[in-house]
Structures are given as C-alpha cells and as structure tokens.
Structure 1
Amino acid sequence: MPGVELNFSQPITDRVFETISGIIGQVVLKVRGQDLAAMTTAADALRERLSAVPGVADLALYQAGSVPQLRIELDREALARRGLAVEDVQTTIRVALGSAVATEVWDGERRHGVALRLPDDVRADPAALRRLVVSEPDRGVTLGEVATISLGPGRAAIWREDFTRFVAVKFNVRGRDLGSTVKEAQAAVGEVPLGEGLQLVWSGEFKNQDRAMRRLALSFPAALAAILGILFLNFGRLRPTLIIAAFLPLACFGAVAGLRLAGELFSVSSAVGCIALLGQVVLSGVVLCGAIDRAAAEDRGSAAIEGPRAALRPVLLTTALALLGLVPAALSHAMGSETQRPFAIAIVSGLLVATPVMLVLLPLLYRGDARREGGEP
C-alpha cells in the first residue's frame, strides 16, 4: 500500500525505546533546527547515507506524514496601503474558517450559541476565499488583494525537544553488534554537509548500552577480585586460589564460543551471564578441592581419585540444575528473549566447556600442589 511503512517489533520493546529517546527505534538521529524544509532535506540526505551501512534495518524518517494545509500569507504592505489592520483581517479569517458565536437562541430554559462560518466547499477553495471581503462592505477590499492563498501539503506533526524543533531518522540493527554499527553510521553521517543552524543529536538504546558497558568495565574486575579474595580466605593459601582461577578464562572462552555459534552478539546481558558463570565455576572448584582435602586426610595417595569421585555427584547435580533451568531460555525466541537468551547461552555454554575440563584437570593440579606442600615426591 503506497505510503505505508511496516516495522515488526514488540510492544514492550517499543515502550522501552520511547522511554529512552521518545521515538520507537534502537538508534535515533535527530536533526534540530528551526527551518523545517532544511531539516527535512538534511534528514533525507542522512537516511540515504545510512542506508549503505551494513546492519542498518527499518530505516525511516519518524512519522514524516503530510496533510493538506491551507496557507494564507498576509501582505503587510498591501494592508498598509488600504488602511487595514492585521488583527482585523486575521479576525475575519478566523471567523470565516473556524467559526464564531454570532448570537444566541433559547430552547425553553436552555440557551444555545449560534456559530457562523463559511460552507465547507468554500473554506477548501482558495479561489473562493480570495473573494472574501475583509474590509467594510463599502470599501470592498477582498482577501486576494492583501494575501497569498495556496493549498498544499504540510507536516502532520512538528516534533520538539528542549523547546527546539527536530526531524528524526530512526533505525534498528540486525545481524551485527550495535556498537560497531553506530560507529560506522556516525562516520558516514559525518560526511553529510548540514545547513546553517542545524544540529545533529544521537540517542537511543546504544547510549544506555554504552553506559552499561562502562560500568561493567569496572564491575567485572571488581567481581573477579572479590571471587579471588573469597577463595583465598577459604583456603588460606594462594596456590589453590590460582588453580581454580585458571579455569575462569576457559569458562569465559566457552561462553563467547557459545554466543558465536548461536549467532548472538556480546552484549550487556551476556556480560552479566559471564559474571554469574564465574560464580558457578568457582563453586564447582571449591567443592572438588574440599573433597580432595577430605580424601587426603584419610589417604593422601588416593586423594586425587577418591576426592573427585565423592564430589562428582554434587558437581554434576549443581551443573545439571543450572543447565535445566537455563536451556529453555537459551533456546527461546519468544517475547523478551533478546535479553534472556544471551544471558542463558553464556552460562550454559561456559558450563558445558569448563565443567568436564575441571573434573579432569583440577584434581591433578590440586593433588600435585598438595604433594609439593606436603613434601611428598
């Protein structure tokens, strides 16, 4: 259907985008200024340039519809030559087009105002409006003598932000990460010349993601330091702490590999999933080391075998419980899955990679460490 633009989205997602930038779209580019024609021209040029950026989808001007408008531009010099005041002519136009209460009638005890205005066919006809008398009847000055009247398309809505007009270009990102797409889009937009008095403002989901990533850049090392500190307090020695910590990069590698295989991009949700994954891997490591220590207290020679055997069931049950709870979210494509799915995939894939390797290697490394500390050959 001509003039109709189709965008497939979800109500919750649209509400979030509207809260962030006031416009439905992951990324919004606002052209601010006062001249609507210049702003629209600049927005069209920006849209043309953005269409060549890989990953950009649903690219469009935001609600750029038009409606028929009747435009009447008064000629102040012509009004002055005929001795007419602008206010008087505007009052005549307002009454003719919009109506005014001329008198009142009574219906029993109820009073009703009687409004007068020109017929609909006359109000929509510029030629008929030009014959409208705007002075005293004896002078016979018509509207066409003191004004220019035209009928043409006009904007259906004029958007404002911070008391400034703007025209918005919005788009979503598909098949590519949001950050790199926005960077390339900003580079492409920077090559478009803007008119005088125009200003570009970027907004949208990527702003929140950028802020969240900066916070994660601080919180992730802090969480890792807290984990290592708790491990050291638990064992009272540095070597067991480092042995368990050696499996954390492996778990993160598994999480990233799982995201890549699933076609998901590393996001705030998946980063939070990696933090949760580290806690799960550390828990399994502590259970294994504790079982080895208890077995070594009875028979140091068989501790590397008996310890993992005793810890196998709790480690596997804990891991299986996490997998059973997160696999449905990792496989889901329902509403809200764009947030839940990366989180679940990061944890599930990280556990599937780290847990088997930890069950095999950690007893050997920890037993070797115990032998060195105990002075055994």
Structure 2
Amino acid sequence: DAGKVLVGDEYLRIQPTGEFQSVSLIGDVLISSSDKTLVYLKDIAQIRREYKEVPDLLIYYEGKPALTLGISMQSGENVVAVGRNLLQRMQEISALIPIGMKLDIIYNQPAEVENSVSGFMLNLVAAIVIVIIVLLLFMGVTAGLIIGAVLLITVAGTLLIMELYGIDLQRISLGALIIALGMLVDNAIVIAEGMMVRIQSGMNAAKAAKDVVGKNSIALLGGTIVGILAFSAIGLSQDSTGEFSRTLFYVILISLLLSWITAVSTTPLLCALFIKAKKNAGSEQDPQDAYSGFVFMLYRGFLKKALHFRGLTMAVIVALFAIAVYGFGFVRGGFFPDSNTPMFFVEVWEIEGTDIHKTRDDTLKISEYIRSLPGVTKTTELIGGGDQRFSLVYEPKERSPAYAQIIVQTETREQIAEIWEKADAYMKGFVNIEPIIKPLRIGPGRDSKIEARISGPDGAVLRQLSEQAKEIFRNNAGTKEIRDDWRQPVKLVKPIFNEQVGRQLGINYEDLSKALKYAFDGTQVGLYRDGIRLLPIFSRAIDEEREDISNIQDIQVWSPVLQQGIPIAQVVKRFETVWENTVIRGRDRRQTIIPSCNPETGVDSTALFERLRPQIEAMELPPGYQLAWGGEYEDSTLASNSLASALPGGFLLMILTTILLFGKVRQPLIIWLTVPLAVIGITAGLLGLNGAFDFMGLLGALSLIGLLIKNAIVLIEEIDQQIEEGIESFKAILDSAVSRMRPVMMAAATTILGMIPLLSDVFFVNMSIIIMSGLAFASVLTLIVVPVLYSMFFKVKYREEV
C-alpha cells in the first residue's frame, strides 16, 4: 500500500512495481553486505514454500489426512429437507473431486433427526394402538371406538396447532404427546363411561349427555387445568434445561385443553349416535345396577373393609410411605441422560507442552486400535483442538498441541459400552496420556461429573490445594479421569540477561529476545500475496542450528556498538530451566482451578459425590480462598432451583384451582394429603427397574402429581354430588368410588401401557418408569385412600348394611 494522492477531484491509488510473481523471485532481491557490495538473497539463504512447521490443528478421517466442512442450517428451515438437498448436491459434485480423494460424511444431523422422528412416530402410533386396544377390551367395542376416535381427533388437532405455532416435531414434542395419551383419554373415558351406563339403563341420550356433562364438565376442567399446571414449572423455567424441554409444556397445554373440549362436545355426540340401550332395558333403571359385576362387587367389598378398618388402612399406608422415603435414598441420581446416537468421544490429553506431532502419533495408534474393534464403523481424529460444533450439546475444546479428540461411531448404541471398556483398557498402556471417554449428550451437562472449584489470589497455593483435592479423589474407590483444568506446569528456558554488559554493547532485553526468536521459531519479515491469500514470509536459522538447543549460546545478536554480531553467551549470565503455568483460568475475575473426576462405570455419581463432598470440604483453605462445587451437582442444582422458582406459582395455582372447584377446604386438603404418597410407587419402580431420578424423572414426578390430583378431584366431586342429592354419606362414598373405578383404572391402564414404547428411549426411560409405577399406585390412592380420608375428615360412620 503506497497510499493515495488527490488529483483534481479524484483520489488516485499509488502502487509501485516490484511485487513478486512467484516464490523463486524472492531470491532475486539484492541486499547489501558488510563490505558494501550487493548480493542476491538466494546466494545466502534457502528460499522455499512449505506448510507451517507446528500446525494448529490436524484432522484425520479413519487414519488418513482430511479437511472438514461444516454446514449450518438457516433458521426456520426443515433440517430433513436441507439434508436431502445436500446429499443430492454432493452426488452432483462427486465427479469434480480429484482422483485419490473422496467425500465422506462425519455426522449427518438431518439423518439422525429423521431417524429419531421416524422412531418416535412409530412409538406414537404404537402407543395410540395400545391405548385403543385397552379401550376396546375394557370399555367394549362401541365405547372403545368412540374414545379412540376422540383420541385421534385430539392428537390431530394438537398437531395442527403445533404447526400453526411453529412447534416442530422433535424428540421432546413427540415424547410429550406419548406422555399425554393417557391423560387425553381420561376426560373422554369419564364422559363415555357415564353416558354408556345411563343409556344402557334406558335413559334418553340427550338427557344422559346433559346429566353426565353437567355433573362432570367443571370437575374435568379443573382436573385438566391442574394437570397442565403440574408441567408449568418447565414452561416457566429460564435456564438451559427449561429452554431444552419447554416444548413439553406447550404440547401438554395444547393437547389437554383440546382433550377437555372434545370430551364435553365430541364424546357426548358420538355416544348419543352410536351407544344404544340394552334390549331388555324397559323403563329407566338405577345406573348403579351397571356396577353389579364381579370386579365391581369385589372392589366394593374391599373398599368397605378398608372403610371399616380405616385406622389400620391409614397406618399401613403411612408405614409404606415411611419405607418408600427411606428406600428413595438408595435410588440412583443423575442429571440429563446420554444420547441414543451410536457415537462417543475419546479425548486424548498428553502432558502439557507435548509436541503436536507426538500427540498425533499416539492418537492415530489409539484410533487404529479402536477401528479394529467389532462394531466400530468409522473414526475421525482431530489433533490440536475439537471439531466444529455439529450439535448444540457438542462443546469443542480450545486449541492445544497436547489435546486430541477421536469421534467414534458404532453400528448400534448397545455396542458402545464394550468398545468403551476395551478402548479404556488399551489406553492404560500409554503412560503419558490422560484420556477421557465421554458419550454424546442429549441435553446440558459437562465432561466431569464431579468438580471442586477453588478460587484465590496465588496460583502456587491453588496448585497445592488442587493436588490435595486430587489426592482425595484418588484415595476413594470408584473414581477415574482425575485431573484439573490448569493442566501440568511446563518447563521454561530462562536466559539470565547481563544488563551491565548488554548496555556496554548496546544490546537490550528486546534485542536478545528477537535474536532467540529468529534462531528457533523465525521472525516474520513480510507477506507474499498468492492470489487471494497472504502468506507470511519468515526468516530463520538453518535447521541444523535450530534443532540443537546446545547451540543456544552461539546464537548471534547484533551489537550496534561493535557493528557486528556477537554470541549471546556474552550478554547472558546463565540459563535456568524453571516451571511455568501455561494455562491459568479465572472465574469472576479471580484465579480459579477446578480439580475434577468421574465415577467408574457402574458407580452412581450422586453417591460418589456425597462421599467425596465432606472430605473435600474438610480441606483447610487459607484466608482469601473459596471452594464451590461445579459439575453435575451445580447443573442439577441450577436446574432444580430454576424449577423451584417456578414451582411455587404453579402449585399455588393448583391449590387455588382445587379450592375454587369445591369452595371448601377439607376436600382440597384430602387431595393434597395423597400427593406425597405417590413416592411409594416412584421408589418401588425406580429400585425395581434400576432407574435414576434425573431431571426428566423430576418432570415425570410432576406429571404424576397432576394425574393423581385430577383423579381425586373427579372422585370427590362425585361423592359430594351424591350427598347433595340426598344419598346417605357412607353409601355415597361406596357408590361414587365404584362408579369411578373403571375411569380411574382405564386412565391408569392407558397411560401405563401407552408409555411402554418410551421404555426403549434413553431420554424418556426414567420419566416413563416414574409415571408408570407411580400411577399404578396412584390409582390405589385414588380408589382406597381418598374414600378413607373422606370418611375420616367428614366423620362418616360405618354402616354394615350398605
């Protein structure tokens, strides 16, 4: 750039000749020698074009050098359609690829999304089929088909509204539909069952519809609102977990409101059209006659005994509750589950300061072994840094020559555990590496499940505290991948500058540094334009001098006083080798070091954390130093706190809804007293099926609360209505419970069986276990405990003759 000059009203750019047209022409540059003669640069230097000596990042695909290209989708586009267009374009340009090169896909998110959505659609269809089959078996063909039709209308309406509001079909939204299936048919079951009983007993269809909808619509609406509010904490949560799973709340909100609308409109219409009175039904019969079957009478007799011995009944329930609370302490904890994509990562950490070529060689050896294992389809090796962010939950590491990552892809997810174990055992033979093997996460999380965060002013003291913490980790069984984020100190060569001699020779510290840099790394002296690229021009010593550190004393530094170069040994007292921290991290503007570890395979991270926590917190910290916990504990705490901040509002609205429904206090109190008892079913299910109470499990527990309260509302509302109609209280309790048995059991059965497809999904499995096992016991709570509590709160006397 030679500048610009104003000529009249124009600026003209100035560009002299002399630009190099090729690298070889650089050698024709004339320079002045010490005897004032001109010589060509090529006569005193070798000029060549080559790659950077120490690369920042090396990429290999299945052990061969590679380049990667990351493609991001524009907002609002269909990822599956974009993926198909990309594949088509790749086929079109395949003929342009040079011989000896090939184009492969490392990670195909559109294909993963398509497979995931297709699998979930199959699960959704399977769940709907299961629900309809259950309805046909227990409600009869006509009523079963009616409720099934209403279910399909509700699901179709939900999908339409999702499309209108831009809610995509993905894992969370489709999972929410499966979770909601049982709740969607609940309202329709109550209406259909009530109308079926009345119509078959001889009541006019219009009167039956008016009677059933009039009695149940408000109670069902209240129960539906409570069910929605149970999920409100997800919709109101403002952290990353809430953002990740927020569509769950929206889908539940849309589908449940639609289910109530179709239950009080479409269901009565279809029942009136298709349910006919029994041929032997003359005048109107007592609807209670429909509950004279064996199962109903068996339940009636059992409930009557429970009401007779109500004190003993509640004592058994309280004892079971106490056992469940104690047993819950043995349930595995967790945060977010891993992805079901057949992929995992092997991170190779060499000793800090290791040459990137040594890191590459070790990484390629490990990768070659992994590819030889059965089930491995391909590997991608990245040396010096991580890959491009191909997934929202993938977090690339910062560049480091001591770091490498191997992306391992397998045929199936089930093969990962065995390959993981063999790879871990093989890497134990590399004494200088610290490997981490980690799965592809499906939600928020970190590489290390247990992190102790220590902050303070002095780096040396922080190092000592970190070593104490790591020693505690090592001394506890079940820990692995013990490290800290400052890594190891690195050796540093420190020439001690003789300032007195240097001043006499006109040499300062900067001159010494430049001479050393020229001798080893090289000094940039210009730029060479190669088309659209600017290549740096470096001047440096010959390879023989640069590769032997013993030559360091003979490196020449220019003395302005002597007007010649002198060995740096004349201005350096001695050379010292010291240690330095090349990685110093901070948090909140304070130096912070994080010693961390992971649990061994099969070891519960929560239990291990609870064992390590008191030992780490017992460490004596100097004044000005602080300890805080990170890792899975911090993530789950933040998520729980975010939910907890939203839960009080949701629970308050749920309580107010139940109070407004009844206009009294005792009925809502009965309902809320049964809520904690759901832990009995939750504990039994998690311990029996080796589930974990993770974040999704917490959401399952919240949904279970909504289901339990909804069933209890409908039952208590029926009891109150019968008492208001003049039926004796004890008989009203028995008759109401018997009339509600089939809707409650049907809703439970459809929900439980409809969630069977989710048991195979790693993301929803714990939520499914909690809802299925909890709801099974919640049905008992509704049908046994609620009537018993009602009789105790309202002092209803036992009557043998009823």
Q: CA-to-partner distance for each residue in 1:158-197, whole Å, 9 max, x for gaps? A: 545456555432223574464x755654542345456898
Q: CA-to-partner distance for each residue in 1:88-120, whole Å, 9 max, x for gaps? A: 22222232223346699999xxx9986421123
Q: Which amino acid aligns with 2:519?
A: A
> Which consecutive unaligned segments of at least 5 residues does structure 1 have?
19-23
Higher mean displacement: 64-73 or 53-62: 64-73
- Which residue pairs with 2:432 in the alignment? 3
CA RMSD of aligned residues (A): 4.4
Q: CA-to-partner distance for each residue in 1:23-62, whole Å, 9 max, x for gaps? A: x323333455687665444422320113335665533234
1:352 to 748, 773, 776: 776
Q: Which amino acid aligns with 1:286?
A: I
* 1:91 and 2:514 correspond: yes
Q: Is the 8 A contact 1:103 1:114 kept in 2?
A: yes
- Which residue pairs with 2:712 in the alignment? 285
- Which residue pairs with 2:116 in the alignment? none
- Which residue pairs with 1:242 in the alignment? 669
**Equivalent-residue separation in structure 1 for 2:521 and 2:785 (angstroms):** 85
* 1:48 and 2:462 correspond: no
Shift of 1:356: 2.2
- Which residue pairs with 1:60 in the alignment? 483
2:567 to 130, 134, 142: 142
Query: 1:322–1:159: structure 2 CA closer, same or farther, 3 Å change rule?
Result: same
- Which residue pairs with 1:321 in the alignment? 750
Q: Which amino acid aligns with 1:250?
A: L
Q: CA-to-partner distance for each residue in 1:96-147, whole Å, 9 max, x for gaps? A: 223346699999xxx9986421123322322112111224477764223333
TM-score (norm 1): 0.73
TM-score (norm 2): 0.38
**Equivalent-residue separation in structure 2 for 1:235 and 1:114 (angstroms):** 84
1:252 to 659, 671, 679: 679
Q: Is the 8 A contact 2:449 2:605 kept in 1?
A: no
Residue 747 of structure 2: SS of its match in structure 1? helix
**Equivalent-residue separation in structure 2 for 1:246 and 1:47 (angstroms):** 46
Q: Is the 8 A contact 2:486 2:581 kept in 1?
A: no
Residue 596 of structure 2: SS of its match in structure 1? strand
Higher mean displacement: 210-219 or 349-358: 210-219
Query: 1:184–1:103: structure 2 CA closer, same or farther, 3 Å change rule?
Result: closer
Q: Which amino acid aligns with 1:91?
A: K
Shift of 1:350: 1.9
Query: 1:150–1:254: structure 2 CA closer, same or farther, 3 Å change rule?
Result: same
Q: Is the 8 A contact 1:69 1:153 kept in 2?
A: yes
Q: Is the 8 A contact 1:47 1:169 kept in 2?
A: yes
Query: 1:294–1:97: structure 2 CA closer, same or farther, 3 Å change rule?
Result: same
Q: CA-to-partner distance for each residue in 1:232-265, whole Å, 9 max, x for gaps? A: 3222333333333332222133224433444455
Q: Is the 8 A contact 1:294 1:307 kept in 2?
A: no
Query: 1:193–1:132: structure 2 CA closer, same or farther, 3 Å change rule?
Result: farther
- Which residue pairs with 1:21 in the alignment? none
**Equivalent-residue separation in structure 2 for 1:307 and 1:326 (angstroms):** 28
Shift of 1:327: 4.3
**Equivalent-residue separation in structure 1 for 2:636 and 2:598 (angstroms):** 14
Shift of 1:155: 6.3
Residue 84 of structure 1: SS of its match in structure 2? coil
Residue 467 of structure 2: SS of its match in structure 1? helix
> Which consecutive unaligned segments of at least 5 residues does structure 2 have?
1-429
What pairs up with 1:1-377 in 2 under 5 angstroms?
A: 1-12=430-441, 16-17=444-445, 24-32=447-455, 39-53=462-476, 56-62=479-485, 64=487, 71-80=494-503, 82-100=505-523, 115-136=538-559, 141-147=566-572, 148-149=574-575, 157-161=583-587, 166-172=592-598, 175-176=603-604, 178=606, 182=609, 185-192=612-619, 200-214=627-641, 223-264=650-691, 266=693, 268-293=695-720, 297=725, 300=728, 303-329=732-758, 331-332=759-760, 334=762, 337=763, 340-363=764-787, 366=790, 372=796
Q: Is the 8 A contact 1:30 1:167 kept in 2?
A: yes
